[in-house]
Chains A and B, each alone.
Chain A
Amino acid sequence: MSHLTVFEHDELPAEQFEDVEQQRETSSLGMWMFLSTEVLFFGVLFTSFFVYRTRWPEAFAQGAKELKWWLGATNTAVLLGSSFCMAMAVHAASEADDRTIVRWLWFTVVLGTLFLLIKGTEYAIEWHEHLVPHFRWSPVAPGAGEPRDPQLPLFMTFYFVMTMFHALHMVIGLGVLLVVIVLARRRHFTREYHHPVEVVGLYWHFVDTVWVFLFPVLYLLRH
């Protein structure tokens, strides 16, 4: 009933839908639409990055070399692995195999957390090397280092802003995954109704895709 408030129990399908299938299609379409907004959200960052890369080519090449590409590459592999686990979880969900769902979701969460830990390590290294604009910066590389390009802070700003927004999306994704794990353990899903898992899967794959673009753009454009 439309007079139900947000916290009151809902039947399946929800009142505005004719059947569960319509509800499922609607949820998916909604998530795809939302992901399109995210494309534009990150698009601003990529656009601005390339504008400045054209303007300050030396600074941006130097910046790419300062980043630890092997950590970034490891993270890429970790995230791709987590997407694989997510896909397996979605497949298990279509068969309403709750224990398998939970297992694969846990793998996804573990790999996602590993990504964040590696990212944190990278940030710690950058902190140590005085590469954090405004907070800990040195115009000369620590030790008997070479002077840094005066526009290097701009590159590092973009690096931190882009990876932090990405990390924020990952943290939100991990939170939602935990909620879905709880739901799966409560036997909440059936063959017909498992679209929370699907929809979270879409979101997770998207977050992975953003990283697949972030990594080469930030780490690999070294000239």
Chain B
Amino acid sequence: MAGSANPFRLLPDSASGIAPRVDALTGFLLLATGLVTLIVLVLIVTFVLKYRRRSEDEVPPATVSRVSLEIAWSAIPLGIFMLMFYWGAALYVDLRRPARGAMEINVTAKQWMWKLQHPGGQREINELHVPVGRPVKLVMISQDVIHSFFVPAFRIKQDVLPGSYTMQWFTATRAGEYHLFCAEYCGTMHSRMIGRVVAMEPAAYQAWLAGVTPDEPPAVSGARLFASLGCAQCHGQNGPTLAGVYGSTVALSDGSSVLADENYVRESIVNAPAKIVAGFPPVMPSYRGQLTDEQVEQLVAYVKSLGAAASPSATRPSPDAAVPVTRPVGAQPPDHRPDFPPARNATDYDRPAGSQPHP
């Protein structure tokens, strides 16, 4: 159930692979800090009782300062804090690095609803069905203000920004329904921007998937856009090849290199001059303002779908596409199926410059 009705719980459901580990760290923090707090409180109460003033003119013996004590109670807490830091940081790395083979779900946040799409094109509103035991990576963007995708039972949370993608991942470990909250204040109905994550056994999940009608996969829409905008004029001949670029490390003209993730592909479309691929002249125009947000998403989906295919006009890579050689640890191989929301009316996404704020 989406949180049991027991009002006396101290812990939410623990339903992801990372949740018990977060709880373990919390438990350690509770123990360590609780102990110190208890000691300090007991000491204070003891001192107050034992040394209470007995007569008005009483002058107690002088305070004897001890530097060794100062050093001790500075160094020991510092040591404990470093342990807490290290544990938290190590756990955080695992929190942020998706496991291999994660299924990508696209999340679009909008005042005041969540729109999600599965890799096969199936769409959901305010609900997310996921299979138990399979890593799921959420690629998220907002259409308006900053939101935050929060599933307490999974112990995950990540802000969802307008204008760039953010990501988080989880592996559900127990079937059930869990709260989905928006955790970044986003306006009037912020507290109503809630939903649920439904984790199902794999068989049940497949059955559910089969029962939902998918929309046109965004990579297909992206392929059409790619052709109609004439991108192949450069990218098929003189420009940097797009086959296999997603997930690889790209060398830039200023000597640095960058991971070609969703944000890199998106930026290359809307703000090409920021990062020029080494060896190529800076001639790609910026498409900002000429494409809607979700047209950009479709193009990104298309590029992701290219995998290592030789020809950029292929819309689907062969299932045994070669994995690019230079790929940082933890990056995803290009997925076989496109996974972005389908085309919508432009007015859903466009806000012309200078328009009035939304009511």
Contact = CB atoms under 8 A, between A and B. Distances in A.
14 contacts: A55-B271, A55-B274, A56-B271, A56-B273, A56-B274, A57-B273, A57-B274, A58-B273, A134-B354, A149-B286, A150-B286, A150-B288, A150-B289, A151-B288
Contacts of A151: 288
A134 B355 CA distance: 12
Nearest to B272: A58
Interface string A145-189: 000011100000000000000000000000000000000000000
Interface string B286-311: 10110000000000000000000000
A148 to B, nearest CB: 12
Contacts of A134: 354
A56 B163 CA distance: 14
Interface residues of A, number: 8
Interface in B124-181: none
Nearest to B288: A150
A151 B353 CA distance: 12
B288 to A, nearest CB: 6
Contacts of A150: 286, 288-289
A57 B271 CA distance: 10
The 7 lowest CB-CB distance pairs between A and B, nearest first, are A58-B273, A150-B289, A150-B288, A57-B273, A55-B274, A57-B274, A150-B286
Given A134-B354, A150-B286, 12 more contacts: A55-B271, A55-B274, A56-B271, A56-B273, A56-B274, A57-B273, A57-B274, A58-B273, A149-B286, A150-B288, A150-B289, A151-B288
A57 B254 CA distance: 13
Interface string B263-275: 0000000010110
A134 B286 CA distance: 22
Interface in B232-272: 271
A63 B131 CA distance: 52
Interface in A67-124: none
Nearest to B267: A55
Most interface-central of B273, B289, B354 (chain A CB within 10 A): B273
A136 B358 CA distance: 24
Interface string A124-136: 0000000000100
A57 B354 CA distance: 23
A56 B274 CA distance: 6
Interface in A15-48: none
A58 B289 CA distance: 16
Interface in B335-359: 354
Interface string A51-66: 0000111100000000
Contacts of B274: 55-57
A156 to B, nearest CB: 14
Nearest to B353: A153
Contacts of B289: 150
Contacts of B288: 150-151
A134 B273 CA distance: 25
Nearest to A58: B273
Most A Cβ at <10 Å: residue of B271, B288, B289, B354: B271
